[in-house]
Structure 1
Amino acid sequence: MACKCHRRVPGLRLGTTLTVSQSSLPDIAIPRTDSFFRFRRMDIRRNVRLAHFQLRNVLAATSRTHAFYTGNGVVHRFNPVSGVNKTVMRFSAYPYAQISTLAAGHGVLVAGGFNGEYMLQTEDHVGVADDELGPFHNGVLTEHVSGITNHIQVYLGRSSSSPRAGFASNDTAFRVIDLETNKLLSAETFARPINCTAVSPDGRLRVLVGDSNKVFITTTESGRPEILQQLSGHRDFGFACDWADDGWTIATGFQDKTVKIWDARRFGYPVETIRADMAGVRSLHFSPIGSGKRVLVAAEEADYINIIDARTFRSKQSIDIFGEIGGTQFVNDGRDLMVLCCDRVRGGIMTLERCGVGAELDWHGNEDDSKGLRREEMGWRGNTWDWTATTFTEGRSVKGSLTKRRRRGAELEMLEPF
């Protein structure tokens, strides 16, 4: 089986003159001055299995009580509230299969393997009994010698209410399957393998990154998706991307140890280029609308979780843990953050919770401008703590309204000891 490889970026010799353009913004190391999340709990799980040294999407959490992670050819479900752990999926039809990626959403749990195999199960049947596994569907996407399933994204299609899964495989193909009927809807072949994808909030566009220094923007229509944009600026392969709820903010993470921020309203050059602390970023997640101050979680290969201010991209909070990071996931409408640590001794699921819930505005109703930013300096990022209200966010922010966050913040303050 062909294996992915890490390509080293050569350095520059002294005396070399560089001409910096907008397409190659200099990397910036932003200061660690923020405090968005605080530690809640750490649940040690010694049955965590990280099967591939580059693929770090083996955590899928749908709520505070449903955290799915990979073991040795199996998928476990852990409930941090009750402490109950259960095996909910096993690749029994493929005795030597190892799970390379995991995804969950819209009531479906999907796992992909090293040899093109996949398995899906509805959450209604996950853990129907303590002594048996729920019903599931399985299949094989490809029989290619390099058929590793690099990434899976579960989303709703624009033309139907049934969930779909986009499979990025190492055989250079990207496939879309209808999870309700378990039928292949489309298959597109690229010049290089795709390692991560994300669909825009309106479901029209998709961002893809892979074994290329380009970022691809395509349509999501079934059949043969059209490549609309190829964005330049990264210097190595890409393994992480995400599309924010505002509809136009995109983040991409590559092995060149940078995270680039793009504006979908004017593609061409990145808006920001942020340097990672130690290694390439393997997991990127924007906070959902209605969860408070908007942030971007950028988890590196190991040890560092960067929570970046997604309003200014000029400051961050860094959480330093011990071990390989298997993925991050927002739960509880974005007010909690789960992190999978894959260390064999001290690994498990760490849960973080939001700080200062409901404190986005002062008592006068004005924005807290403690960082000295003027509204006109915020530019394209908007002028509110939460994601800017657009046609993409309409009707989605009610669950996390300002009033609800203030009430929750007041309740938390009442529970805190003196």
Structure 2
Amino acid sequence: MANSDAWDPSFPDKLLRRHENYFRFRSMDLRTDVRLLHFQLRNIMGCASRTAVYYPCVYGTVRRLDPTTGHVKTAMRFETENDASVSHVSGRGGHPHYRQFPWNISPTVALRRKMSPAAMTETLTDHASGITNHVQVNLSRRSSTPVAAFASNDYGFRMVDLTTNKTTLDKMYDYALNCTALSPDKRLRVMVGDSQNVLITEAETGEILQSLEGHRDYGFACDWAPDGWTIATGNQDKSIRIWDARNWKNSVAVIRTEMAGVRSLRFSPLGSGKRLLLAAEEADVINMIDAQTFDSKQTIDVFGELAGVAFTNAGQEIVALSSDPVRGGVLCLKRCDFGAEDYHNYSHRRYSRDRWRTQGYDWLPTPHQVVDHAGSEVTLTQKHRQAAMAEDWFF
């Protein structure tokens, strides 16, 4: 919308201080073959692990890069370069699932399984505008089977059982959906799209439960935090809004971005240390926001259009994909504040913005609760080792 990102003193948007230091540079693998085919869709990088980064290539293939060694190999290939255009890449458990859309024929889903680079294709919709804008892969709440949730440009939201390739939900909305995120308990889903409002829906039926107002333009990014109630949405109005699932009435915080609207949002995983919100703008700027107070951040300035960001290695690293044809590639950042939670009192609490918050670093009040949680990616021994490494580094 025209001038939706223009600043006005009446807006609640807050530009955060840039004085934090959560991550530092680890490596940059220059890649001149990254292909960005859509100026709005910036989730074309998938991380299955710290040694497996997937991205679409200019030669009609999807490639796998190991940032630790620099080795590159073909993960998926199409018969010709014009067969398909990759709009989203997602990876889970070492088996990435790809969404591709041809420009001139019916959209299809392409999946790579096992070790074969050949693509398996299934038709998802026959609509001429059935471009898939976003895919989220997760395990079903009622079973251990993987499920893919597709947000499409034809106003549709679809869920596919990846073990049978059967569509389990096909629901239409009033506008195109650009991003969705599932709650940790897998009961609710947040949706943003070609509307100023944010939708909260029932995860399995798609029924709209809440419509949240506040943004001034269309939305392209959202995520749900591991604590179960913190939600972030990013829109083209150059704002990130933080919502509390325990009280939908008003947003908890409104954060103004540096240069452009946010295209990717990622909360740090449970067990990774201080809670953070990773927010990548369209180009040049990656923000690491303090997700405890939402009043400060670290900003990394890069060169080029950002095609995707992700936490990896249990949240101890960040991988970002720049699609600049000359200086682009895969940027890796390493966390430098691990172990810091050992120097803070987890029992201290304070009341702020109509909600209780722990002063601790992670998404749960104590380290023992963190490591005992089913969604945690670390053990208590690992956290103690990280703390010891921090002491050795600083002392």
Fold conserved (TM > 0.5)? Answer: yes
Contact 1:106 / 1:154 at 8 angstroms: preserved in 2? Answer: no
Counterpart of 1:381? 357
Report runs of 4+ in structure 1 exceeding 6 Å deviation.
Answer: 11-14, 390-393
Structure 1: runs of 5+ lacking an equivalent: 1-6, 127-132
Alignment of 1:160-199 (within 5 A): 160-199=143-182
Instruction: Give 1:398 shift.
Output: 5.5
Alignment of 1:301-340 (within 5 A): 301-340=282-321
User: Which of the residues 366, 384, 394 maps onto 1:406?
Assistant: 384
Structure 1 residues 385 and 118: alpha-carbon distance in aligned structure 2, compared to 1, 3 A threshold? same
Contact 2:161 / 2:168 at 8 angstroms: preserved in 1? Answer: yes
Q: Secondary structure at the match of 1:277?
A: coil
User: 1-side partners of 2:73 and 2:179: how far apart?
Assistant: 28
Counterpart of 2:219? 238
Counterpart of 2:89? 102
Counterpart of 2:323? 342
Counterpart of 1:212 in structure 2: which amino acid? S
Which structure has the highest strand share of the two?
Answer: 2
Percent pairwise identity: 49
Counterpart of 1:118? 109
Q: Secondary structure at the match of 2:125?
A: coil
User: Which of the residues 66, 74, 77 maps onto 2:61?
Assistant: 74
CA offsets, 1:323-359, max 9 Å, x none? 0001111111011110001110111111001112212
Instruction: Give 1:184 shift.
Output: 0.8
Structure 1 residues 395 and 367: alpha-carbon distance in aligned structure 2, compared to 1, 3 A threshold? closer
Q: Secondary structure at the match of 1:408?
A: helix
User: Which of the residues 70, 91, 106 maps onto 2:78?
Assistant: 91
Instruction: Give 1:242 shift.
Output: 0.1
Structure 1 residues 417 and 219: alpha-carbon distance in aligned structure 2, compared to 1, 3 A threshold? closer
Q: Secondary structure at the match of 1:304?
A: strand
Counterpart of 2:44? 58
Scaled by the length of structure 2, the TM-score of the pair is 0.91
Counterpart of 2:2? 8
Instruction: Give 1:392 shift.
Output: 10
Contact 1:290 / 1:396 at 8 angstroms: preserved in 2? Answer: no
Q: Secondary structure at the match of 1:67?
A: strand
Instruction: Give 1:231 shift.
Output: 0.4
Contact 2:45 / 2:307 at 8 angstroms: preserved in 1? Answer: yes
Instruction: Give 1:316 shift.
Output: 0.3
User: What RMSD, in angstroms, separates the aligned Cα atoms of the two structures?
Assistant: 2.7
Structure 1 residues 183 and 247: alpha-carbon distance in aligned structure 2, compared to 1, 3 A threshold? same
User: 2-side partners of 1:310 and 1:257: how far apart?
Assistant: 18
Scaled by the length of structure 1, the TM-score of the pair is 0.86
User: 2-side partners of 1:205 and 1:147: how far apart?
Assistant: 24
Structure 1 residues 10 and 177: alpha-carbon distance in aligned structure 2, compared to 1, 3 A threshold? closer
User: 2-side partners of 1:267 and 1:13: how far apart?
Assistant: 25
CA offsets, 1:355-413, max 9 Å, x none? 12212232xx63699xxxx7344843333210025999962365435552231343477
Contact 1:341 / 1:347 at 8 angstroms: preserved in 2? Answer: yes
Structure 1 residues 217 and 118: alpha-carbon distance in aligned structure 2, compared to 1, 3 A threshold? same
Provide the aligned length of Structure 1 versus Structure 2. Answer: 387
User: 2-side partners of 1:331 and 1:12: how far apart?
Assistant: 34
Contact 1:100 / 1:150 at 8 angstroms: preserved in 2? Answer: yes
Instruction: Give 1:47 shift.
Output: 0.9
User: 2-side partners of 1:333 and 1:137: how far apart?
Assistant: 30
Structure 2: runs of 5+ lacking an equivalent: none
Greater shift, 76-85 or 399-408, is seen at: 399-408
User: 2-side partners of 1:326 and 1:151: how far apart?
Assistant: 13
User: 2-side partners of 1:112 and 1:11: how far apart?
Assistant: 30
Structure 1 residues 393 and 179: alpha-carbon distance in aligned structure 2, compared to 1, 3 A threshold? farther
Contact 2:358 / 2:365 at 8 angstroms: preserved in 1? Answer: no
Greater shift, 269-278 or 397-406, is seen at: 397-406
Contact 1:164 / 1:176 at 8 angstroms: preserved in 2? Answer: yes
Counterpart of 1:146? 129
User: 2-side partners of 1:344 and 1:239: how far apart?
Assistant: 24
